Chain A
Amino acid sequence: MLRALLLSLSVLAGLVLASLWPNSLVAETSANRFSEYYDQIYQVRVFSPEAGSKSSIGSGFQVTADGLIATNYHVVSDFVQRPEKHQVEYRSHTGETGSLELLDFDVVNDLALLRIDQPADRFFSLSGDTRQEPSSAQSKGGLVYALGNPRDYGVTLVQGFNNGLVAHSYNDQLLFSGSLNPGMSGGPTLNANAEVVGVNVATAGSQLSFLIPADKLINLISVGRALEQSDYQDEIATQIKQWQRPRLQSLIDEPWPTETFADRELFGEIRKDFQCWGDTNSDNVNRSVAWTNRNCQTANQVFLSGRLNIGQLLFSFSEQESIKLNRFQFAQTLSPDMGADNQSNFENSTSFKCKTGFLDTQQKGQYRRINSCIRAHKKLHGLFDSLLLVEVNEGLTSFLAHLSIAGAEPDQIKALNTKFTERVQ
């Protein structure tokens, strides 16, 4: 009894000590040091006069003396998509409100620049280059501090480690091991010198959050322009095209390392931003068709609005073999139908137009069906979504290869589709 009590007491003491010692020092210094920055965080809100309420909230911070406010594109996306039906407002720490003018945005890196009428005297300084110049807080393992207004509860400081660039991502993003919550989007993350190293952007759940590196914001500020509302959609289309061009071209030009899938010479993680997952139903004893699947996709996609996202890139293979079905029944289980992998709707895109054909084959008792479907983006001129399915059917076995590209230009879609089809033959 006594022993148990002693033991629990010592454990308790250990816990208290452990929690006090290293963290308390940091917490004290950062609390003192960062208290002044709380006041410099604005709440950015998109207001819909028609609905009489706000449609989104986020955080923002001043980055220049003349009143440039940085936030995330997704915080102001409702305004960008329908400027005539929305207005952007700020609320300062004093509760003062006013309107903000949207100057520029970067949909790929999820950044937006706004102008405030009455700039504050103090503003945040941006850390030059977060990657090439590793200072104590910028390099992997350094402590950084995110500021923002989560769920409108009030400005909050979140401390966490900067874990460097996110693996398996085509776009540069920093991995931040702290809890970002809705509403903190667009707020700054500071290093120990109170320089902005990144902009809060997203979270993947417990202690896994993402930051936009500050150099992306520096790039956007350096462009120094003020977009017309009527040019917003063309600007988005241009940005998507500029992002997709090299992203897809390297896939078209570079060889895809061979990986075996179900005794076929295929491919898998063809670039660092692709991740593959596999599955099979071999443990199901009652299966009438045996299948093995591999799905590979990139994590990157671009949020444009609640109804539209773009940039998905994925492919999948499926090997199927009939166990209990005859040729007719097995054929019934095969369908060349596909669904879009990006979100869109009638306002944003057309329906898919498809063309099905059969490819040459030397083998008897086999067909190679190919089905290609294209839909166009209505507002983003020159961008299309593509779905491709190649199916090799040998009567009682079937191999399916699927490629999906969201938001690309015709020449690159055609080149990627052709390369993919030739590789899976």
Chain B
Amino acid sequence: MNIAIVIAHKGGRRIERLTVGESPLRIGRGWGSDILLDDKFVNENHIELSVDDGELYVRDLSTRNGTLLDGKRIDSSPQKVRFGQVLGIGDSQVQIQNVQASVAPASFRSAWFLLMERFGSTKSILSLTAVALFLQALVAWMGSSQEYGLGDALVGVGTLLVAITIAALTLGLVSKLLRNEASLKSHWLVIVIALIANVLIDFLLQIVRFNLQMPVLSDSIAMLAMGAIASLFIVGFLSYATYLSPSKRWLWSVSVVGLFVIFSYSEDWLKEDHQRWTSYSSSEGLTLPPALLFRSTTSVTDYFDASDELFGFTPGELADSDN
């Protein structure tokens, strides 16, 4: 029986192609093993693979640290193994692949895959998730106009965790359909990084907004910045979920963001002048503590001299609208 095994150890991966015949095949640290593992927690002869009646079997050779099959401990009696199952041996993971199956098409090169390689370990993903949850709770605490207690924070974090899970599962399902690979970890990572980026950029935009005091300009800046960030992360999702080429990923991503922007602003853009009319002032509504004000100040006289322009209304604005 021809198989391939994928061995992952400390972030590195190698693939071996081998044939399991009438005599069993041994994997271990000893020089006599058919597959050598450089792992100090692995016995000289650790597991044995054998074929019986067209089925593949594995057994643990009474080792010091034991063997896990998909997380469950096995003993020295042969256990049936299916393709794709993972054997935990010492610090290494061994996965058995079917060489009859065709491999997935080549992925386009993308920085997102590098990101996954760098932060893809469970530990990194958990840490980043914790950072994202903490930042979101911090922002909720700062942004609340009422008291914000531990209970509120826990509810917020819990809700967000559920939302991340649902989003990752949904994207995983889409990936499974489009690419036959759920990439749950990758999606989780992108979502978490997107949340962190969102908090940081939003905070920066708030400082810009507070210092500018020009709501229309601030709205445009925020729309552009958030649109760019959203496009970037949608490209990330598309990298993991499809085989689209980089240019097409960007095309799709920018189109989706553009449509969203048009959809959410169209009602405002289509308003007629009399529908925009308001008896309220149109000032920057956001206020931050004095420590976050960096702009220059003026004297009372200079301020009012510069405010003369407020009295200048165009003939269009003053047009008699009686009908």
Contacts and interface: CB of A to CB of B under 8 A. Distances in A.
A331 B317 contact: no
A336 B284 contact: yes
Nearest to B311: A410
A339 B280 contact: yes
B277 interface: yes
B301 interface: yes
A288 B147 contact: yes
A67 B88 CA distance: 111
A332 B210 CA distance: 12
A46 B283 CA distance: 41
Interface in A75-111: 82
Given A336-B283, A359-B297, A378-B321, 19 more contacts: A288-B146, A326-B142, A329-B145, A332-B144, A336-B281, A336-B285, A338-B283, A340-B279, A345-B277, A351-B278, A355-B307, A355-B309, A356-B284, A360-B297, A367-B297, A370-B300, A378-B320, A414-B304, A414-B307
B145 A374 contact: no
B105 interface: no
B282 A354 contact: yes
B18 to A, nearest CB: 62
B287 A346 contact: no
Contact of A410 (B277, B287, B308, B322): B308
Nearest to A356: B213
Contacts of B278: 351-352
Contacts of A360: 297-299
B303 A344 contact: no
Nearest to A377: B318
Interface in A356-412: 356-361, 365-368, 370-374, 376, 378-379, 384, 387, 393-395, 410
Interface of A: 82, 288, 324-340, 344-347, 350-361, 365-368, 370-374, 376, 378-379, 384, 387, 393-395, 410, 414, 417-418, 421-422, 425
B274 interface: yes
Contacts of B313: 350, 353, 376
Contacts of B276: 351
A376 B311 contact: yes
A361 B297 contact: yes
B321 A346 contact: yes
Contacts of A414: 304, 307-308
Contacts of A354: 281-283, 310
Contacts of B148: 329
29 contacts: A288-B147, A324-B147, A329-B147, A329-B148, A331-B288, A332-B143, A333-B145, A336-B281, A339-B281, A347-B321, A352-B280, A352-B282, A355-B307, A355-B309, A355-B310, A356-B283, A358-B293, A359-B297, A359-B298, A359-B299, A359-B300, A368-B297, A370-B300, A370-B303, A371-B281, A373-B281, A373-B310, A395-B290, A414-B304
A355 B304 CA distance: 10
A422 B300 contact: yes
B11 interface: no
Contacts of A395: 289-291
Interface string B230-245: 0000000000000000
> Is chain B's interface secondary structure helix, strand, loop, or mixed overall?
loop
B162 interface: no
A331 B310 contact: no
Nearest to B288: A331
Contact of A350 (B299, B308, B318, B322): B318
A387 B278 CA distance: 14
A59 B318 CA distance: 36
A353 to B, nearest CB: 5
Contacts, number: 161
Contacts of B303: 357, 359, 370, 372, 421
Given A335-B287, A357-B298, A328 B142 contact: yes
> Residue among A330, A333, A358, A370 with the most chain B CB within 10 A?
A358
Contact of B300 (A335, A350, A421): A421
A405 B280 CA distance: 14
Nearest to A84: B322
Contacts of A378: 318-321
Nearest 4 Cβ contacts at the A-B interface: A328-B142, A356-B213, A332-B145, A327-B289
Nearest to A360: B297
Given A355-B306, A360-B298, A373-B283, A328 B321 contact: no
Given A352-B280, A354-B281, A376-B313, A346 B274 contact: yes
Contacts of B317: 350, 376
Contacts of B14: none
A179 to B, nearest CB: 34
B300 A418 contact: yes
> Residue among B213, B287, B297 with the most chain A CB within 10 A?
B287
Contacts of B284: 336, 356
Contacts of A372: 303-304, 307, 310
A173 B205 CA distance: 55
Contacts of B283: 336-338, 354, 356, 371, 373
Given A335-B285, A359-B300, A344 B147 contact: no
Given A328-B143, A329-B146, A332-B143, A418 B304 contact: yes
Contacts of B143: 328-329, 332
A395 to B, nearest CB: 6
B288 A328 contact: yes
Nearest to A330: B289
Contacts of B146: 288, 325, 329
B213 to A, nearest CB: 4
A222 to B, nearest CB: 32
Contacts of A326: 141-142
B52 interface: no
A398 B259 CA distance: 42
A327 B281 CA distance: 25
Nearest to B144: A329
Contacts of A410: 308, 311
Interface in B142-158: 142-148
Contact of B142 (A329, A340, A387, A417): A329
A344 B277 CA distance: 11
A393 B290 CA distance: 7
B272 to A, nearest CB: 10
A197 to B, nearest CB: 39
